[in-house]
Every structure is written in C-alpha cells, then in structure tokens.
Amino acid sequence: MKHTRKFAVGAVLAAAVGMVAGCSGDAEQAPAEGSEGSGRGPITFAQGKDTTGKLQTVIDGWNADHPDEEVTFIELAEAADEQRTALVQDFQAGAGTYDVAGLDVVWTAEFAARDWLVPLDDIDTTGLFESTVDSGTYDGTLYAAPYNTNAGFLYYRTDLVETPPTTWAELEDACDIAVANEIDCYAGQFAQYEGLTVNFSEAVNSAGGSVIDENGEVTVDTPEAKAGLQFLVDGFESGTIPAEAITYQEEEGRRAFQAGNLLFLRNWPYVHGLATQEGADSVVQDTIGIAPLPGADGLGASTLGGYNLAISKASENQQTAKDFITYLESEEVQRTLLTELSLPPVRSSLYDDAALQADVPYLATLKSALENAVARPKAVAYSELSTLISTEVYEALQGSVTVDEALSGLQEDLQDVVDAS
C-alpha cells in the first residue's frame, strides 16, 4: 500500500518534472532563428475577419499568379485584444503559425523590440503616406509595412449646423443649437479603454501639445496638454458632453448620433457608411456632415489609426511574405481595399482620384485629416502607457481628480514606465 502511494505521487511528479526538464531548455521568449527563413513557399496571412469576402478575392488573385507560393488566409477574432492574444502566443512560442500578420499601428514598437518581427527595409514605401510609414518604423527600421490607415472626423448635422466649427470655442457656441433642439451636443469615445487614449491624445495634439515628444520625453504636464484635457473635462461639467458619454465606445456614440440625439460626434470614417446605408435606421441619413476635428485655435489633429503588415521571425518563407506585402500595397489592391472593403488606403495618390472621390464622399476630408494626423506614442511599453493614460484621464472626466492632479500624476507614472524600458 505504502509503495502504491509513493508510486502514484512519484508518477505525477516525474511526469510533470520530466516535461519541464524536456521543454524548458528553449528559454522563454527565445527569439526564433530568423536568418534561415528567407525562402519561398506557401505562407499564411492573419488578420481580423473580413465579412465582405472580398479580401479572399484579393488573395486568390495572388495565388493564381504564384501557385508555388500560395497564401492561406487565417481570420482572427473580431476584437483587437483577441487578435493580439493570438499573435503574442504564436510569436512568443516562435511557432510560425502566422507568417504575415495585420498589426494595429501601436503594436509595432512593442513587437519589434521583442525581436519577433523581420526588418522590412527592402520594401518600397514610396507613394505611401509618410505618417503611416512612420507608424511602422521602430528605431529607424521599418518593421511593419503600412496596409490601411484611419483618422477621426467630426460628424455634424447639416440640417442644424451651417458651417462646422473649426475651434473648440466655436463648437461650444454651436451647442446652443443642440439645446434649442433638445438634443445632446458633443461626444467621442470616453469609456476607459484604448479609445479614450486616442481621444485624449487628439485633444492634447489639437491644443498644440503632445503626450510624448519626438525626443521621447513625456510631456503631459504642460499647459497645452492641460488645455486639451480641460476641454473634455469642461464638456462633461457644462453638459456640452452628455454624462452618458462616459460609457461610450465607438458604437454607443454612433447609435446616439444615428438616433438623432447628438449634434456633433468624433468618430472614424466607418460611421458615414453605416449611417447613410440604404435602409439604415438612421435619422441622419441625408443630413450627415463630415469635417476635420476642431482644435484649440484652429483645426485640430486626429490620432492615426489603421493596420500594418509584419512578418514573423519564425516564418520560413520570408521572401514570399515580403513579395505578398508588396502586392497588398500595390495601387490595384489598395484601390480594392477602399472600394470593396471600405478600408482607407495608405497610397496617397488614390485620394486624388476623381472617380474614387465621387464614390467615397469623405475622401478629401480624410486626406487632409491623414496629412495632419499624429501617431500615438511609439513605445516599447505602449500598452502600459496607454492603460495609465486611459485610467488617469477617465478619473479626471469623472471629476474625481482635477486636471492638474491627473496630469502631474500621469507625467510621473508615464516617465517611470519610459525610464524602465
């Protein structure tokens, strides 16, 4: 009996220990050997799901010309958090399940610094928006090639507002119209999540400040940053921004605007397509206006969104992967992205195309927004910074800390993270 027990416990331990001993050799996060993966052959391409099915057509186009270098499309979950989980697991393990992956613009530095991505300096980026190329560059090297981009708009009601405001003061004045019509005035994305970091950065940039300047210094305890946050805090206090906007992500704001409960809305271009769609449950179907974001003394600056393309270090067919990325950046594919998938392209010439401008009414506004757009901080610890920002800003919007307290605390916290990494 005694020996049975010992044996039983021993077997468990042996099994557990044996497995650990067998596998812990390949130390965690060991950078996968990348140099030998420069070959050609079939690859996979992973990005969030595409409901239109048009992306598969684009990939089929490639496969028809490259029968020996076939691309398999892997659709990741809809939520960005979950796409990130899948990619991190695979990159960390060096498993190479995903050869080419669509990366949110803010992930580039985080992933590149951990040596998970292949440098893409030999990819030709001429003709692409400079800001998008910059968003894929880390430490002077391109690690993620621009794929599609995004910028925020100020949506307004053309039936109630004649000329859209270009400054915050004008916006606040125009709120009288909202009061007269018994609707709310302005909203963006103010729930505590990545969207709040975007909205806060926009406010700071639109007041002439920055979150982290070009020298990598944290600059949120400045008069400009304070002016930016003050605009949002004042909005909540005066009721210009409705109290419920503290729960808004993109969709809540869109619903309020489409229901006719909101005069102005900061949101991405996707709202235009949905609000004007035929048969849409939208009171603003014919009265939706688009303008660049207003700022402190003149037009503001949007935060840059979008996705870039990167190659995993564990990929075995990196040459094919690079060629495929070049294909996705070709004018032909970029045009399809815009017309069939409603994704803003990164090739700037397309924005001047008269045929496209006729098809996509917001194209000109988007171009000027993109030209002024500011990228979020490029940091090895971006997520950590962003969490700190959204947490602290959220408290300021709720009124539980003052603007000064929030920003001086944030300055310290961000500096700590920047110093540590």
Partner 1 sequence: MSGTWTSRVRRWAASASFAVGVALLVVFCLAPFYWMLVSGLKSPTAIFNNDLLPTTASLENFAAVFSGRNQFSRALLNSVVVAGVTTLTAMIVGVSTAYALTRLVFPGRTVILALILAASMFPGVAILTPLYELFADLGWINTYQAMVVPDISFALPLAIWTLTAFFREMPWELEQAAKVDGANPFQAFRLIILPLAAPGVFTTTILVFIAAWNEYLIASNVSIDASTSPVTVAIAKFTGSSQFEQPFGTQMAAGVVATIPLVIMVLLFQRRIVEGLTAGGLK
Partner 2 sequence: MKAGRAVLDDVVRHPDMTLEGAPDPRTRTQAAPDGARAGGARRRPGRSREGRFAFWLVLPTLIVLAGVIGYPVVRAVVRSLYDDPVGRTPEFIGLGNYAEAVVGSGAEDFWAALSTTMFFTGTTVVLELVIGMAMALVMNRAFRGRSIVRAVVLVPWAIPTAVCAVLWRWTFDANGIVNHLIGQQVLWTGSEWPAKWAIVFADTWKTAPFIALLVLAGLQTISQEIYEAARVDGAGPVRRFVSITLPLVRPAIVVAVLFRMLDVLRIYDLPQIFTHGANDTRTLSMLVVEESIGNLKAGMGSALSTLTFLIVFLVALVYIRVLGARVLNGRDGGAA
Q: Which one, 13 or 280, has the nearer CB to partner 2?
A: 13
**Can residue 70 be called a binding residue for partner 1 (CB under 8 A)?**
no
The answer to whether 275 and 254 are in contact (CB under 8 A) is yes
- Judged by beta carbon, residue 134 or residue 252, the one nearer partner 2 is 252
Select from partner 1, partner 2, none the partner in contact with residue 392, using the beta carbon and a kind-dependent cut-off of 5 to 8 Å: none
Max CA distance (Å), the chain: 90
Determine the Cα–Cα distance for residues 405 and 403; give it in Å rounded to an integer.
Answer: 6
Query: CB-wise, 222 or 258, nearer to partner 1?
Result: 258
Distance, CA of 408 to chain centre: 26
Binding-site partner at residue 364 among partner 2, partner 1, none, CB < 5 to 8 Å by type:
none
**Quick one: angle between helices 54-65 and 318-328, nearest 10?**
130
Smallest gap, in angstroms, from Cβ of residue 252 to partner 2?
Answer: 7
Half-sphere exposure of 101 (CA within 13 A, CB side): 30
| Closer residue to partner 1 in complex, CB, 9/169 | 9
Task: In angstroms, give the least distance from the CB of 113 to partner 2.
Answer: 5
Going residue by residue from 117 to 146, which x/- string records binding to partner 1, judged by CB under 8 A? ------------------------------
User: Is 49:77 a contact under the CB 8 Å cutoff?
Assistant: yes
CA distance 327 to 342: 18
C-beta closer to partner 1: residue 259 or 364 = 259
Choices 6-14, 154-162, 227-235, 288-296 (CB under 8 A): range interacting with partner 1: 6-14
Residue closer to partner 1 by CB (options 104, 392) is: 104
Cα–Cα dist 72/209, whole Å: 44
Q: Smallest gap, in angstroms, from Cβ of residue 86 to partner 1?
A: 6
- Nearer residue to partner 1 within complex by CB, 93 or 113: 93
Q: What's the CA dihedral at 38, 332, 307, 152 to 10 degrees? A: 160
Q: Build a one-symbol-per-residue string for 10-39: x at contacts with partner 1 by CB under 8 A, - elsewhere.
A: --x----------x----------------
Instruction: Give every CB contact of residue 121 below 8 A, 6+ residues apart in sequence.
Output: 141, 142
Minimum separation from the CB atom of position 386 to partner 1 (A): 17
CA distance 203 to 251: 20
What residues numbered 79-108 form the site for partner 1, per CB under 8 A? 79, 82, 85-86, 89-90, 92-93, 95, 97
C-alpha 298: how far from its chain's center?
25
* Nearest residue (CB) to partner 2, 204 versus 393: 393
CA distances from 405 to 212, 225, 412 (A): 18, 13, 11
Beta carbons of 221 and 405 less than 8 angstroms apart: no
The helix/strand/coil state of 194 is helix
Tell me the closest approach of the beta carbon of residue 272 to partner 2, in angstroms.
22
**Which amino acid is located at 18 in the chain?**
G
Which residues of the chain form contacts with partner 1 (CB under 8 A)? 1-2, 4-5, 8-9, 12, 23, 46, 48-53, 72, 74-79, 82, 85-86, 89-90, 92-93, 95, 97, 150, 250-251, 254-255, 258-259, 267-268, 270, 273-274, 277, 279-282, 342-343
